Amino acid sequence: MKDYRKAKKLVDVSVGESVRILRELQEMSQNGLSELTGIPQSTISAIENDRVNLGVERAKILARALKCHPAILVFPGWDVHQESAA
C-alpha cells in the first residue's frame, strides 16, 4: 500500500451530467430509461440538462434503473474528506 496514490479529480460533474453518464455507460437511451422508470423522456432530458431538479424520489427511481446508489446521482462531486455532511 506504500505505492498507493489518491486519484485526482479531473472534472466537475453536475447532477444532470451524472445521470447522463450512467445512462450512456449502460448503453441506454432516454426513451429506454423512461420506459424503465415511468419518468417522461422530456423530464429525463430536462434533468440531464440541469433544467429540472432531480429530487430525492426521482433519484431513488433513477438509481434503481441505473443500478447505482442514489447518492451517486445527487452528490456527484462529493469529497467526504473535504466536506462535512452537517
Whole-model pTM: value is: 0.78
pLDDT number for residue 11: 73
pLDDT tens-place values along the chain, 86 residues long: 577 777 666 678 899 999 999 999 999 999 999 999 999 999 999 999 999 999 999 999 999 999 999 998 988 777 656 655 55
pLDDT number for residue 15: 92
pLDDT number for residue 81: 64
The domain segmentation of the chain, as residue ranges, is 15-74
| CATH 1.10.260.40 at 15-74, yes or no | yes
Maximum Cα–Cα distance for the chain, whole Å? 49
pLDDT number for residue 1: 55
Give the list of residues 6+ apart from residue 45 with CB closer than 8 angstroms, or none. 30
Task: Please spell the DSSP secondary structure of 17-72, one letter per residue.
Answer: HHHHHHHHHTT--HHHHHHHH---HHHHHHHHTTSS---HHHHHHHHHHHTS-HHH
